[in-house]
Structure 1
């Protein structure tokens, strides 16, 4: 039905556009009528693009949950995801079961183990499990590949670009860290060598935009070519032509991603306006580029990266100049401009970031001020080093020269990210976005100079009122933020009771549970991201982890592991099957931890408490890895209530666990798999737990915890405690009494 509505909208929009053009209505429409017509035309064109893509997307969705064989062409650059896989987009030519392909052109996203040859333009064949995407995503299907093969390497200009980039990456990695892995990202947008830890630090410090090829990189290339051509005596027309040619080559080299194309088109139109003598139409050019790209690819409208790119560009054009003039009243012009540029970008991007991320960088402006001078040097010299690959001596020299600014940027990121309160955690969503937008507007109003508004008396009075109101809002927000920083920092443990021994951290849709006996601490899983886990550990005064248990390697259970690297003594983990899992364990080993695989029957002590592993069985052919091979831990004694942590076990493995272990009479049970419906009632009846912990996110697409699971635990007499409703949950024992502290009151 939605497709028919969209098609109808397309027809109506096109009809209106043809009518008004033939009748000359656009010229006669009053006020914003012409704009309305253009909006209708854009809606019609966008709707047409969506309708034409729907049949293939609907047919592809039928393969969700199946193991498929896909052949196609790589259409994007590849990058390492948080799960350790190499991710890229491809245009599928055939898709189906092995040996029985169906001709079905459709966009797909593929995740594989890291490897070479998966470059833009390469023809590939992959086999893996398929999963349908949401309607708002460009890729109609995500394929988690178990087999991958490059049928034909990239050829033509894309093949030549891939050879140059591979040679540059290899040459860069010969240099020491920090800086070696970051250099290809700065110069040509290849982030495959950037470590997960550095990537997190870049995001925390507000520097992640430097590794994403955008308008800044295109501007650097254009300015460099303009300057070199002018230095050689070339006129304005020649400068523009050479800059356009160089920009086109740069886009091919770094891979024509949507954000790169937008930036390149923006730069190209900017050069044309210079050639035509109208260099001041920046906002109009940005609007034209954005509208044009969205007409060609409507799914970019749901891309946070694209939204951030456009918002930052608009802020630099519209907001940075008046901010610089306002700041210049209290500081030198050069310093004011240097501060205004990153400040404008952060003010514009902050509300968008708050929609989908839980952290706001508080040191982004300072970090950008420190890193900004090195970015163009690393980009230009690194780009020249990449192009000089056929001349090894020159390429080595240029790569070494570009390593120094890259090392400076990497050091800036790691240093600033580790400053106290480098970022502020906010729950992602509309509420946080509105709050951040309000703060951004208030900061802008306070800093704008009076000369930037009309001098009419009514306007002056209104501006004074707005400034006073904005200042008052900033004072209130700053006071609340300062109190939050104190409670999360020096006073973090003030709000935590002393008698807790089991804690369920509120880390969203994932597990992170702490057991404490005396001064010894065990952490069971690390949640989906490091920031929420770090905040929870800090609030509880936990600095060192004596035992880290990684029940299995799903992202919602190990995504926050970087928060505790270097702070762990011993690690127990579930079965390992993929290279990304081995790399994660290697990071913990490098941090000084002892690493062992967990099997049923292992025992140990945590302070005065004892623990034992109940699952999985050693060498089990039934459940070799994944959810059903989750490590199940039991803790008891030493001030710890008798507790059972079930990982993500499904009903079948729960039944085997019940038959293999002596279970019953628990104070606390961590319900398996965030309270999914796949539970064995007999297990929970045997456990007879007094408290059931649900570690679950408030906004999850799975419906966790399921109502039938809640009813099941209630029927066994357990008290349900949920991190999505109560936030962080603490439990302790006082005599025979089980004490419970929650961060907030639960919902009935």
Structure 2
């Protein structure tokens, strides 16, 4: 009989995880829940003792013991929430957040400092980073001058070198409360330049020196290999371009740059082997391995996946030194409970969830799957297929929540890339350690590490470019549930081994029906060809939200949204269908309902927002709502500019001197985007007079895509459209809208200027993607792709 992992050990861990995930969203219930769980645990422990003394049958005794473990684990994580919540959210900071009070704060940088996802609105280079707020004094003296330990995500400007991990920063700014359950309790927005007042401690400074040394050497290596090497070696992805990052994600290879179990295993194994070769006793080998593991965690920073892997490795090492062997499932279960007891807010962290699920898949799914595949292929090849497949299948229920697709080419990509990953990791880490001592030798090792890194990057780009590499899948909660059921059935089929003649066909039929049902849900109201031909590399997406505007701009995983339509529901549906979770840059051109009515769909999901001039007192509530949701909100005036990924954007209207006199349609914030060989302009609801005024002031150059003004009303300047000479005109308009939009006058203007009109009322959602040889690829719900010549305006 095949030996199976003791999956019952996961019951306490899964229960504790569920309790933590719920309670961090409703922390006020944590204390009462902890008491209830503790009472149940005590009762179950007493029943377990009674079962042992009275000689109960094994099955009931095991069930009672399992209940005791489940209740005890739930009580522990519940206590973690009850104790941690007051420390994370002191009343003084809550008041300051609600009143938007300016504060002088001191905070410690906890993670990598990266460029703010949207471009700066003022002087200085804007950055973001996770940190711990340790002191805060508000302008009214209502906050604590010290003794705080509050997790925050900070945004600010730096005039020179960015602060490093472990630095202490002092600055002034405002804070905003995040939603319950978030890792960070507050968002902090610095009003002035970040000032470093204390350097990292010796250990953190040592780690930063190693990281920066590898980063500097890798920056001199050519192409994608140099950009990717720090990520493969130490998890530093700051040099990875948006294009390469997207290719890694689409080819299911992004996990290679997330330091976790494999990297920790390599470090521990190498140190233990070296110590063993030198004749060290068992306890000394374990001590050396633990010290090396601790140093590695400091070097790569304690990300959730690293913490999970390090705790599991430590448990295995402690068991080893005592002469015992701990199973992988037991180590995973205990590690999950210990980690969530210390930091319950990791229960909803995507990195932690995916790391634990991937480990579960490797421990439970990979061995029987490899045995099954070995019947038809060599065992080494079967194992090479089973490992990435097991991890991918285990993570897929969560992955479809992030991106509602199935990566058909992901397994092949992992088979090609996985053999190179350990080489890149070991050589890259060796280079990192050697560079400060022997720079020349370290650089030489980095060149060797560049070879497997470049191979992995090329695999990602090649696989990402394959047709039909990903199939659409139903998104949202339904997609998660259906995928989880399919995965569970597949897991049951493989682990069960030989089943009787009824169960196996029945289970296989259920899997096929579930797959068909999932596709049926995703195909509702659409054809198979529509989904299969929808470009994943779209640059513009006009959402079908009725009479109103809501147009997305995408570059890699960066997104801008120009207006939000009249209603949150259709906008939320559009964002979910396109897999857009975060809005890096939101532009609200003006405050008409058909442009701002759907703002609730994006509150809490926006990094930075540009808004028009409010015309009424009620209009001011929208910027306040966005600000309360964590967005940095500024008034839009000509001259603002920045970057969205690799795209340049700029505001060209209204002029700064006219902003206090111009609101409504005439003051529509007009924004341009350019990059990837495509130029675009978004005209809001500008009328003919304001279009002519904008044209005289900003002198716009020809573009490839124009978002037609005011849903195609007759109030248009033909001279402007002649100047723009766009190839495509997006008209966001509702069916039978009652205004006669788009008007015959506007459609005639587009015909005379050579602009192809694309209308959401006739075609539904519209996507535009850059094509080969200077073309645009257009796609719509109710029309197939149609190449539109670009070849330079004119």
Match of 2:10 in 1: none
Match of 1:336 in 2: 382
| Maintained 8 Å contact 1:526/1:557 | no
Distance 1:79-1:265 versus aligned 2 partners, 3 A rule: farther
Match of 2:176 in 1: 131
| Maintained 8 Å contact 2:47/2:64 | no
Q: Does 1:423 align with 2:465?
A: no
Q: Does 1:470 align with 2:515?
A: no
1:299 deviates by 0.6
Q: Deviations over 1:654-691 (max 9, x none)?
A: 9x9799899xxx998359xxxxxxxxxxxxxxxxxxx9
Query: Which runs of 5 or more residues in structure 2 are unaligned?
Result: 1-22, 53-59, 120-125, 554-558, 565-570, 579-585, 590-604, 611-635, 673-680, 696-706, 713-730, 743-758, 768-779, 784-794
1:248 deviates by 1.3
Q: Deviations over 1:214-267 (max 9, x none)?
A: 111111212222333344454544433322221111111111223212111111
Distance 1:359-1:510 versus aligned 2 partners, 3 A rule: farther
Distance 1:420-1:484 versus aligned 2 partners, 3 A rule: farther
Q: Deviations over 1:96-142 (max 9, x none)?
A: 44695633542211134577453332211244443221110121111
1:395 deviates by 1.4
Distance 2:131 2:68 in 1: 36
Match of 1:403 in 2: 450
Query: Which runs of 5 or more residues in structure 1 are unaligned?
Result: 493-501, 515-522, 537-548, 559-572, 589-594, 600-614, 634-642, 672-690, 696-712, 731-740
Q: Does 1:43 align with 2:88?
A: no
Match of 1:144 in 2: 189
Distance 1:551 1:597 in 2: 14
Q: Does 1:155 align with 2:186?
A: no
Distance 1:250-1:490 versus aligned 2 partners, 3 A rule: closer
Distance 1:524 1:49 in 2: 38
| Maintained 8 Å contact 1:382/1:402 | yes
- Helix, strand or coil: the match of 2:336? helix
Match of 1:380 in 2: 426
Match of 1:609 in 2: none
Alignment match of 2:266 (pick from 220, 231, 256): 220
Match of 2:530 in 1: 487
Alignment match of 2:214 (pick from 163, 168, 181): 168
Match of 2:342 in 1: 296
Distance 1:467-1:667 versus aligned 2 partners, 3 A rule: closer
Distance 1:629-1:379 versus aligned 2 partners, 3 A rule: farther
Distance 1:416-1:144 versus aligned 2 partners, 3 A rule: farther
In the TM superposition, 1:218-617 aligns within 5 A as 218-234=264-280, 236-279=282-325, 281-388=327-434, 389-426=436-473, 428-444=475-491, 448=494, 452-453=495-496, 459=500, 461-470=502-511, 486-489=529-532, 504-505=542-543, 511-512=550-551, 575=638, 577=640, 581-582=642-643, 584=645, 587-588=646-647, 597=650, 599=652, 615-617=653-655
| Maintained 8 Å contact 1:79/1:190 | no
Q: Deviations over 1:301-340 (max 9, x none)?
A: 1111111000000100010000101111111100000010
Q: TM-score normalised to the size of structure 2?
A: 0.65
| Maintained 8 Å contact 1:443/1:474 | no
Match of 2:232 in 1: 186
Distance 2:107 2:649 in 1: 41
Distance 1:141-1:196 versus aligned 2 partners, 3 A rule: same
Distance 1:624 1:163 in 2: 52
| Maintained 8 Å contact 2:549/2:732 | no
Distance 1:167-1:3 versus aligned 2 partners, 3 A rule: closer
Q: Does 1:630 align with 2:678?
A: no
More RCO (CA 8 Å, sep 6+)? 2
Q: Does 1:34 align with 2:65?
A: yes
Alignment match of 1:62 (pick from 82, 90, 95): 95
Q: Does 1:669 align with 2:710?
A: yes
Match of 2:151 in 1: 107
Distance 1:188-1:670 versus aligned 2 partners, 3 A rule: farther
| Maintained 8 Å contact 1:187/1:383 | yes
Q: How many residues align?
A: 601
Distance 2:271 2:399 in 1: 34
| Maintained 8 Å contact 1:358/1:426 | yes
1:55 deviates by 3.4
Distance 2:341 2:134 in 1: 24
Distance 1:415-1:667 versus aligned 2 partners, 3 A rule: closer
Distance 1:238-1:644 versus aligned 2 partners, 3 A rule: closer
Distance 2:105 2:28 in 1: 30
Q: Deviations over 1:523-566 (max 9, x none)?
A: 9968999xx99x99xxxxxxxxxxxx9999977999xxxxxxxx
- Helix, strand or coil: the match of 2:222? coil
Distance 1:333-1:284 versus aligned 2 partners, 3 A rule: same
- Helix, strand or coil: the match of 2:332? helix
1:429 deviates by 1.1
Match of 1:685 in 2: none
| Maintained 8 Å contact 2:640/2:651 | no
1:37 deviates by 2.3
1:278 deviates by 4.4
Distance 1:510 1:206 in 2: 34
Distance 1:597-1:8 versus aligned 2 partners, 3 A rule: closer
